[in-house]
Chain A
Amino acid sequence: MPQSTEQPSTEPASTEPPSTGWPLYEVFLRGKRGLNHVHVGSLHAADPEMALRHARDLYTRRNEAVSIWVVPADAITASSPDEKDPFFAPAGDKVYRHPTFYQIPEDVPHI
Protein backbone atom coordinates (compact mmCIF):
# COMPACT_ATOMS: atom_id res chain seq x y z
CA MET A 1 0.00 0.00 0.00
CA PRO A 2 1.60 3.26 -1.05
CA GLN A 3 2.45 5.79 1.58
CA SER A 4 0.10 8.68 1.85
CA THR A 5 2.86 11.24 1.47
CA GLU A 6 2.19 14.70 0.30
CA GLN A 7 4.03 15.92 -2.72
CA PRO A 8 3.57 19.62 -3.35
CA SER A 9 0.80 19.22 -5.84
CA THR A 10 1.03 20.91 -9.19
CA GLU A 11 -2.03 19.46 -10.79
CA PRO A 12 -5.43 18.53 -9.54
CA ALA A 13 -6.32 14.90 -9.05
CA SER A 14 -9.84 15.42 -10.35
CA THR A 15 -10.67 16.23 -13.93
CA GLU A 16 -11.77 19.81 -13.53
CA PRO A 17 -10.68 22.39 -10.99
CA PRO A 18 -13.48 24.63 -9.77
CA SER A 19 -12.55 27.72 -11.76
CA THR A 20 -14.59 30.07 -9.63
CA GLY A 21 -13.47 28.60 -6.33
CA TRP A 22 -12.48 31.27 -3.86
CA PRO A 23 -9.10 30.67 -2.24
CA LEU A 24 -8.73 29.54 1.35
CA TYR A 25 -7.83 32.00 4.09
CA GLU A 26 -6.81 31.14 7.62
CA VAL A 27 -8.30 33.28 10.38
CA PHE A 28 -6.61 34.44 13.58
CA LEU A 29 -8.41 36.35 16.31
CA ARG A 30 -7.36 38.26 19.36
CA GLY A 31 -10.22 38.84 21.72
CA LYS A 32 -10.75 42.02 23.69
CA ARG A 33 -8.99 40.61 26.71
CA GLY A 34 -6.63 38.40 24.75
CA LEU A 35 -2.89 38.72 24.65
CA ASN A 36 -2.25 37.23 21.23
CA HIS A 37 -3.94 36.05 18.08
CA VAL A 38 -5.25 32.51 18.03
CA HIS A 39 -6.01 30.43 14.97
CA VAL A 40 -9.75 29.81 14.88
CA GLY A 41 -10.32 28.24 11.48
CA SER A 42 -10.57 29.07 7.82
CA LEU A 43 -12.94 30.40 5.20
CA HIS A 44 -13.09 31.15 1.50
CA ALA A 45 -12.98 34.61 -0.05
CA ALA A 46 -12.10 36.13 -3.38
CA ASP A 47 -9.82 38.80 -1.90
CA PRO A 48 -8.37 39.94 1.44
CA GLU A 49 -10.95 42.66 2.13
CA MET A 50 -13.84 40.24 1.72
CA ALA A 51 -11.93 37.65 3.76
CA LEU A 52 -11.74 40.12 6.64
CA ARG A 53 -15.45 40.87 6.43
CA HIS A 54 -16.35 37.21 6.33
CA ALA A 55 -14.07 36.46 9.24
CA ARG A 56 -15.88 39.06 11.29
CA ASP A 57 -19.26 37.59 10.33
CA LEU A 58 -18.30 33.98 10.88
CA TYR A 59 -15.96 34.05 13.85
CA THR A 60 -17.08 37.02 15.89
CA ARG A 61 -20.81 36.73 15.24
CA ARG A 62 -21.97 40.15 16.09
CA ASN A 63 -19.57 40.56 18.97
CA GLU A 64 -17.79 43.78 19.69
CA ALA A 65 -14.73 44.44 17.59
CA VAL A 66 -11.78 42.17 18.10
CA SER A 67 -8.53 42.07 16.16
CA ILE A 68 -8.78 39.83 13.14
CA TRP A 69 -5.98 38.65 10.89
CA VAL A 70 -6.69 36.77 7.68
CA VAL A 71 -3.88 35.14 5.76
CA PRO A 72 -4.06 33.25 2.47
CA ALA A 73 -3.56 29.62 3.45
CA ASP A 74 -0.83 29.10 0.93
CA ALA A 75 1.16 32.00 2.36
CA ILE A 76 1.63 30.15 5.62
CA THR A 77 4.85 28.30 6.26
CA ALA A 78 4.70 25.92 9.17
CA SER A 79 6.74 23.50 11.17
CA SER A 80 5.48 21.02 13.66
CA PRO A 81 6.05 21.37 17.39
CA ASP A 82 6.53 17.61 17.65
CA GLU A 83 10.21 16.73 17.93
CA LYS A 84 9.71 13.42 16.25
CA ASP A 85 10.59 14.86 12.89
CA PRO A 86 11.04 11.58 11.10
CA PHE A 87 7.44 10.69 11.80
CA PHE A 88 6.23 13.44 9.55
CA ALA A 89 5.63 12.69 5.96
CA PRO A 90 7.76 14.93 3.72
CA ALA A 91 4.93 17.36 3.13
CA GLY A 92 6.88 20.23 1.72
CA ASP A 93 6.48 23.17 3.98
CA LYS A 94 2.77 23.78 3.58
CA VAL A 95 0.74 23.50 6.72
CA TYR A 96 -2.48 22.57 4.93
CA ARG A 97 -3.01 20.95 1.66
CA HIS A 98 -4.16 23.76 -0.51
CA PRO A 99 -7.00 22.48 -2.68
CA THR A 100 -5.82 19.27 -4.28
CA PHE A 101 -9.27 18.06 -5.35
CA TYR A 102 -8.77 14.96 -3.32
CA GLN A 103 -10.68 12.03 -4.71
CA ILE A 104 -12.84 10.17 -2.24
CA PRO A 105 -13.71 6.74 -3.60
CA GLU A 106 -17.34 5.86 -3.25
CA ASP A 107 -16.61 2.44 -1.84
CA VAL A 108 -15.53 3.91 1.48
CA PRO A 109 -18.35 2.74 3.72
CA HIS A 110 -20.16 5.32 5.74
CA ILE A 111 -19.68 5.28 9.49
Chain B
Amino acid sequence: MELSETQLSEHFEATIARQDRIEPRDWMPDGYRKTMIRQIAQHAHSEIIGMQPEGNWITRAPSLRRKAILLAKVQDEAGHGMYLYAAAETLGADRADLTERLIDGRQKYSSIFNYPTLSYADVGVIGWLVDGAAICNQVPLCRSSYGPYARAMVRICKEESFHQRQGYELLLTMMRGSDAQKAMVQESVNRFWWPSLMMFGPPDAQSPNTERSMAWGIKRNTNDDLRQRFVDMTVPQAERLGVTLPDGKLRWNSSRGHYDFGEVDWAEFTAVVGGAGPCNADRIARRRSAHDDGSWVREAAMTYAAKH
Protein backbone atom coordinates (compact mmCIF):
# COMPACT_ATOMS: atom_id res chain seq x y z
CA MET B 1 0.00 0.00 0.00
CA GLU B 2 1.54 3.22 -1.15
CA LEU B 3 1.13 6.11 1.25
CA SER B 4 0.65 9.67 0.25
CA GLU B 5 3.23 12.31 0.85
CA THR B 6 0.86 13.87 3.35
CA GLN B 7 0.55 10.73 5.43
CA LEU B 8 4.29 10.15 5.45
CA SER B 9 4.84 13.73 6.39
CA GLU B 10 2.35 13.52 9.24
CA HIS B 11 4.03 10.43 10.59
CA PHE B 12 7.39 12.21 10.41
CA GLU B 13 6.06 15.29 12.22
CA ALA B 14 4.41 13.13 14.86
CA THR B 15 7.68 11.32 15.51
CA ILE B 16 9.43 14.64 15.96
CA ALA B 17 6.67 15.97 18.20
CA ARG B 18 7.00 12.91 20.45
CA GLN B 19 10.73 13.62 20.68
CA ASP B 20 11.41 10.22 19.15
CA ARG B 21 14.27 9.60 16.77
CA ILE B 22 14.23 9.64 13.02
CA GLU B 23 16.32 6.69 11.83
CA PRO B 24 18.06 6.14 8.48
CA ARG B 25 15.29 4.11 6.84
CA ASP B 26 12.50 6.44 7.86
CA TRP B 27 10.82 8.71 5.37
CA MET B 28 11.90 12.31 5.86
CA PRO B 29 11.35 15.55 3.96
CA ASP B 30 14.03 16.42 1.45
CA GLY B 31 14.77 19.61 3.33
CA TYR B 32 15.33 17.73 6.56
CA ARG B 33 17.68 15.24 4.92
CA LYS B 34 19.68 17.91 3.14
CA THR B 35 19.89 20.21 6.15
CA MET B 36 20.94 17.34 8.36
CA ILE B 37 23.63 16.17 5.92
CA ARG B 38 25.04 19.67 5.72
CA GLN B 39 24.99 20.20 9.48
CA ILE B 40 26.57 16.84 10.27
CA ALA B 41 29.14 17.17 7.48
CA GLN B 42 30.19 20.65 8.59
CA HIS B 43 30.47 19.39 12.13
CA ALA B 44 32.68 16.54 10.89
CA HIS B 45 34.80 18.95 8.85
CA SER B 46 35.27 21.08 11.96
CA GLU B 47 36.66 18.12 13.89
CA ILE B 48 39.13 17.28 11.12
CA ILE B 49 40.26 20.85 10.49
CA GLY B 50 40.40 21.38 14.26
CA MET B 51 43.22 18.84 14.40
CA GLN B 52 45.52 21.34 12.72
CA PRO B 53 45.74 24.27 15.17
CA GLU B 54 46.28 21.94 18.11
CA GLY B 55 48.36 19.43 16.18
CA ASN B 56 50.69 22.35 15.55
CA TRP B 57 52.02 21.99 19.13
CA ILE B 58 52.38 18.22 19.59
CA THR B 59 56.03 18.04 18.63
CA ARG B 60 56.88 21.02 20.83
CA ALA B 61 54.87 20.09 23.93
CA PRO B 62 57.07 20.95 26.92
CA SER B 63 56.55 17.76 28.91
CA LEU B 64 56.07 14.17 27.81
CA ARG B 65 52.82 13.91 29.73
CA ARG B 66 51.42 16.99 27.98
CA LYS B 67 52.62 15.65 24.67
CA ALA B 68 50.78 12.38 25.20
CA ILE B 69 47.59 14.14 26.29
CA LEU B 70 47.65 16.47 23.28
CA LEU B 71 48.39 13.68 20.83
CA ALA B 72 45.54 11.62 22.26
CA LYS B 73 43.23 14.60 22.05
CA VAL B 74 44.03 15.29 18.40
CA GLN B 75 43.56 11.62 17.65
CA ASP B 76 40.16 11.77 19.34
CA GLU B 77 39.24 14.60 17.02
CA ALA B 78 40.03 12.47 13.99
CA GLY B 79 37.80 9.84 15.51
CA HIS B 80 35.00 12.33 16.10
CA GLY B 81 35.22 13.43 12.49
CA MET B 82 34.87 9.83 11.40
CA TYR B 83 31.90 9.14 13.67
CA LEU B 84 30.19 12.18 12.17
CA TYR B 85 31.00 11.34 8.56
CA ALA B 86 29.59 7.89 9.28
CA ALA B 87 26.37 9.50 10.56
CA ALA B 88 26.15 11.67 7.44
CA GLU B 89 26.63 8.62 5.27
CA THR B 90 23.56 6.97 6.75
CA LEU B 91 21.64 9.78 5.04
CA GLY B 92 23.06 8.98 1.63
CA ALA B 93 26.13 11.18 1.61
CA ASP B 94 29.55 9.83 0.62
CA ARG B 95 32.59 10.73 2.69
CA ALA B 96 34.91 11.25 -0.29
CA ASP B 97 32.33 13.57 -1.81
CA LEU B 98 31.98 15.51 1.44
CA THR B 99 35.76 15.86 1.59
CA GLU B 100 35.73 17.35 -1.91
CA ARG B 101 33.08 19.85 -0.81
CA LEU B 102 35.18 20.89 2.19
CA ILE B 103 38.29 21.34 0.08
CA ASP B 104 36.61 23.38 -2.63
CA GLY B 105 34.75 25.53 -0.13
CA ARG B 106 31.18 24.41 -0.81
CA GLN B 107 30.92 23.25 2.78
CA LYS B 108 32.32 25.00 5.79
CA TYR B 109 33.77 24.25 9.20
CA SER B 110 33.77 26.10 12.47
CA SER B 111 35.43 29.45 11.92
CA ILE B 112 37.33 29.28 15.22
CA PHE B 113 39.89 27.08 13.50
CA ASN B 114 40.78 29.90 11.14
CA TYR B 115 42.77 31.49 13.95
CA PRO B 116 46.42 30.55 14.50
CA THR B 117 47.89 28.87 17.57
CA LEU B 118 50.88 30.97 18.48
CA SER B 119 51.97 29.78 21.91
CA TYR B 120 51.72 26.67 24.01
CA ALA B 121 49.14 28.38 26.20
CA ASP B 122 46.79 28.26 23.22
CA VAL B 123 46.57 24.50 23.73
CA GLY B 124 45.06 25.07 27.16
CA VAL B 125 42.88 27.95 26.06
CA ILE B 126 41.48 25.96 23.16
CA GLY B 127 40.65 23.13 25.54
CA TRP B 128 38.98 25.52 27.97
CA LEU B 129 37.18 27.98 25.70
CA VAL B 130 36.84 26.32 22.33
CA ASP B 131 35.96 22.87 23.63
CA GLY B 132 33.81 24.55 26.26
CA ALA B 133 31.86 26.40 23.59
CA ALA B 134 31.69 23.24 21.49
CA ILE B 135 30.26 21.34 24.44
CA CYS B 136 27.58 24.00 24.94
CA ASN B 137 26.69 23.60 21.28
CA GLN B 138 26.89 19.86 21.33
CA VAL B 139 25.16 18.69 24.48
CA PRO B 140 21.76 19.71 23.11
CA LEU B 141 22.59 17.80 19.93
CA CYS B 142 22.62 14.60 21.99
CA ARG B 143 18.86 15.07 21.71
CA SER B 144 18.95 15.68 17.97
CA SER B 145 15.95 14.24 16.22
CA TYR B 146 18.21 12.24 13.91
CA GLY B 147 19.24 8.99 15.63
CA PRO B 148 22.74 8.33 14.25
CA TYR B 149 23.71 11.96 14.86
CA ALA B 150 22.40 11.95 18.42
CA ARG B 151 24.27 8.73 19.19
CA ALA B 152 27.51 10.07 17.72
CA MET B 153 27.07 13.21 19.81
CA VAL B 154 26.75 11.29 23.06
CA ARG B 155 30.08 9.60 22.46
CA ILE B 156 31.71 12.84 21.32
CA CYS B 157 30.42 14.85 24.27
CA LYS B 158 31.85 12.37 26.72
CA GLU B 159 35.30 12.57 25.17
CA GLU B 160 35.22 16.35 24.84
CA SER B 161 34.39 16.86 28.47
CA PHE B 162 37.72 15.23 29.21
CA HIS B 163 39.43 17.46 26.68
CA GLN B 164 38.05 20.58 28.26
CA ARG B 165 39.17 19.47 31.71
CA GLN B 166 42.67 18.74 30.49
CA GLY B 167 42.90 22.17 28.85
CA TYR B 168 41.72 23.90 31.99
CA GLU B 169 44.13 21.87 34.09
CA LEU B 170 47.04 23.01 31.93
CA LEU B 171 45.96 26.62 32.42
CA LEU B 172 45.66 26.18 36.17
CA THR B 173 49.19 24.81 36.20
CA MET B 174 50.50 27.68 34.11
CA MET B 175 48.69 30.30 36.19
CA ARG B 176 50.40 28.92 39.27
CA GLY B 177 53.72 29.03 37.48
CA SER B 178 56.19 31.62 36.26
CA ASP B 179 55.38 35.19 35.26
CA ALA B 180 56.16 34.25 31.68
CA GLN B 181 53.62 31.43 31.82
CA LYS B 182 50.94 33.67 33.28
CA ALA B 183 51.56 36.29 30.64
CA MET B 184 51.40 33.59 27.97
CA VAL B 185 47.98 32.48 29.21
CA GLN B 186 46.56 36.00 29.39
CA GLU B 187 47.85 36.85 25.92
CA SER B 188 46.25 33.68 24.58
CA VAL B 189 42.90 34.44 26.24
CA ASN B 190 43.01 37.92 24.69
CA ARG B 191 43.16 36.32 21.25
CA PHE B 192 40.65 33.52 21.71
CA TRP B 193 37.82 34.98 23.82
CA TRP B 194 35.87 36.80 21.12
CA PRO B 195 36.36 34.09 18.47
CA SER B 196 34.98 31.61 21.01
CA LEU B 197 31.81 33.69 21.32
CA MET B 198 31.57 33.70 17.54
CA MET B 199 31.40 29.90 17.59
CA PHE B 200 27.71 30.17 18.44
CA GLY B 201 26.98 31.81 15.12
CA PRO B 202 25.29 35.08 14.25
CA PRO B 203 22.72 36.69 16.54
CA ASP B 204 19.24 35.16 16.50
CA ALA B 205 17.85 38.16 14.66
CA GLN B 206 20.12 37.29 11.73
CA SER B 207 19.49 33.52 11.74
CA PRO B 208 16.36 33.05 9.64
CA ASN B 209 16.40 29.26 9.58
CA THR B 210 16.59 28.76 13.28
CA GLU B 211 12.82 28.45 13.53
CA ARG B 212 12.49 25.61 11.05
CA SER B 213 15.54 23.83 12.40
CA MET B 214 14.10 24.01 15.88
CA ALA B 215 10.74 22.71 14.72
CA TRP B 216 12.48 19.70 13.20
CA GLY B 217 14.59 18.96 16.24
CA ILE B 218 17.75 19.74 14.31
CA LYS B 219 18.52 22.65 16.57
CA ARG B 220 17.51 22.64 20.21
CA ASN B 221 18.54 26.11 21.39
CA THR B 222 19.05 29.44 19.69
CA ASN B 223 22.50 30.88 19.05
CA ASP B 224 22.04 33.67 21.58
CA ASP B 225 20.75 31.26 24.24
CA LEU B 226 23.84 29.10 23.96
CA ARG B 227 26.19 32.04 23.76
CA GLN B 228 24.70 33.44 26.99
CA ARG B 229 24.95 30.06 28.67
CA PHE B 230 28.60 29.78 27.67
CA VAL B 231 29.42 33.22 29.07
CA ASP B 232 27.60 32.43 32.33
CA MET B 233 29.54 29.17 32.73
CA THR B 234 32.91 30.57 31.71
CA VAL B 235 33.18 33.84 33.66
CA PRO B 236 33.49 32.10 37.04
CA GLN B 237 36.05 29.72 35.50
CA ALA B 238 38.08 32.72 34.33
CA GLU B 239 37.91 34.25 37.81
CA ARG B 240 39.07 30.98 39.31
CA LEU B 241 42.02 30.95 36.89
CA GLY B 242 42.93 34.55 37.56
CA VAL B 243 42.70 35.68 33.95
CA THR B 244 40.87 38.75 32.69
CA LEU B 245 38.42 38.25 29.84
CA PRO B 246 39.01 41.05 27.32
CA ASP B 247 35.55 42.60 27.58
CA GLY B 248 35.10 45.79 29.57
CA LYS B 249 31.34 45.42 29.46
CA LEU B 250 31.28 42.02 31.16
CA ARG B 251 29.31 42.23 34.40
CA TRP B 252 26.70 40.29 36.33
CA ASN B 253 23.18 41.57 35.80
CA SER B 254 21.17 40.45 38.79
CA SER B 255 17.81 41.42 37.35
CA ARG B 256 18.43 39.23 34.30
CA GLY B 257 20.21 36.55 36.25
CA HIS B 258 22.92 36.46 33.58
CA TYR B 259 26.17 38.19 32.68
CA ASP B 260 25.91 41.19 30.39
CA PHE B 261 28.65 41.25 27.80
CA GLY B 262 29.91 43.41 24.97
CA GLU B 263 29.05 43.27 21.33
CA VAL B 264 30.82 40.71 19.16
CA ASP B 265 32.56 42.16 16.12
CA TRP B 266 30.19 40.69 13.55
CA ALA B 267 32.15 42.18 10.70
CA GLU B 268 35.13 40.11 11.74
CA PHE B 269 32.90 37.04 12.04
CA THR B 270 31.49 37.53 8.57
CA ALA B 271 34.91 38.09 7.08
CA VAL B 272 36.41 34.99 8.67
CA VAL B 273 33.46 32.77 7.81
CA GLY B 274 33.67 34.14 4.29
CA GLY B 275 37.29 33.02 3.87
CA ALA B 276 39.30 36.06 4.94
CA GLY B 277 40.51 34.85 8.32
CA PRO B 278 44.20 34.49 9.21
CA CYS B 279 44.39 30.75 8.54
CA ASN B 280 41.59 29.79 6.17
CA ALA B 281 43.85 29.24 3.20
CA ASP B 282 46.41 27.28 5.20
CA ARG B 283 43.84 24.99 6.78
CA ILE B 284 42.29 24.04 3.48
CA ALA B 285 45.65 23.75 1.76
CA ARG B 286 46.80 21.27 4.39
CA ARG B 287 43.65 19.21 4.06
CA ARG B 288 43.87 19.31 0.29
CA SER B 289 47.49 18.26 0.16
CA ALA B 290 46.94 15.35 2.57
CA HIS B 291 44.00 14.24 0.46
CA ASP B 292 45.80 14.67 -2.87
CA ASP B 293 49.10 13.22 -1.69
CA GLY B 294 47.24 10.25 -0.32
CA SER B 295 45.45 9.45 -3.53
CA TRP B 296 48.06 6.97 -4.81
CA VAL B 297 48.02 5.21 -1.44
CA ARG B 298 44.25 4.82 -1.39
CA GLU B 299 44.33 3.63 -4.95
CA ALA B 300 47.05 1.08 -4.23
CA ALA B 301 44.92 -0.40 -1.44
CA MET B 302 41.94 -0.69 -3.77
CA THR B 303 44.05 -2.30 -6.48
CA TYR B 304 45.44 -4.81 -4.01
CA ALA B 305 41.92 -5.62 -2.78
CA ALA B 306 40.75 -6.19 -6.31
CA LYS B 307 43.63 -8.58 -6.99
CA HIS B 308 43.12 -10.68 -3.86
Binding between chains A and B:
yes
Stretch from A28-36, A44-52, A63-71 contacting the other chain: A44-52
The tally of residues in A whose CB lies under 8 Å from a CB in B reads 44
Q: Is B96's CB under 8 angstroms from A21's CB?
A: yes
Q: Is B25's CB under 8 angstroms from A80's CB?
A: yes
Chain B residue at minimal CB-CB distance from A99? B94
Q: Is B97's CB under 8 angstroms from A14's CB?
A: yes
Interface status of B26 (Cβ within 8 A of chain A)? yes
Q: Determine the distance from Cα of A43 to Cα of B79 in the docked complex, in whole angstroms.
A: 10
Q: Determine the distance from Cα of A25 to Cα of B8 in the docked complex, in whole angstroms.
A: 30
Q: Is A95's CB under 8 angstroms from B24's CB?
A: yes
Q: Is A111's CB under 8 angstroms from B210's CB?
A: yes
Interface status of A75 (Cβ within 8 A of chain B)? no
User: What distance in Å separates the Cβ of A3 from its nearest Cβ neighbour in chain B?
Assistant: 6
Q: Tell me the total A-B contact number using a CB cutoff of 8 A.
A: 129
Q: Determine the distance from Cα of A102 to Cα of B36 in the docked complex, in whole angstroms.
A: 13
For A84, list chain B residues within 8 Å (CB): 11
Q: Is B298's CB under 8 angstroms from A46's CB?
A: yes
Which of A6, A18, A86, A97 is B96 in contact with, Cβ under 8 Å?
A18
For B87, list chain A residues within 8 Å (CB): 41
Which of A19, A50, A96 is B24 in contact with, Cβ under 8 Å?
A96
Q: Is A86's CB under 8 angstroms from B91's CB?
A: no
Interface residues of A (CB under 8 A from B): 1, 3-6, 14, 18-22, 24, 41-47, 50, 58, 61, 78, 80, 84, 86-89, 91, 95-97, 99-102, 104-106, 108-111
Q: Considering the complex of A and B, which 10 residue pairs feature the smallest CB-CB distances, nearest first?
A: A46-B301, A18-B96, A99-B94, A97-B92, A47-B305, A102-B92, A42-B86, A20-B299, A21-B96, A20-B298
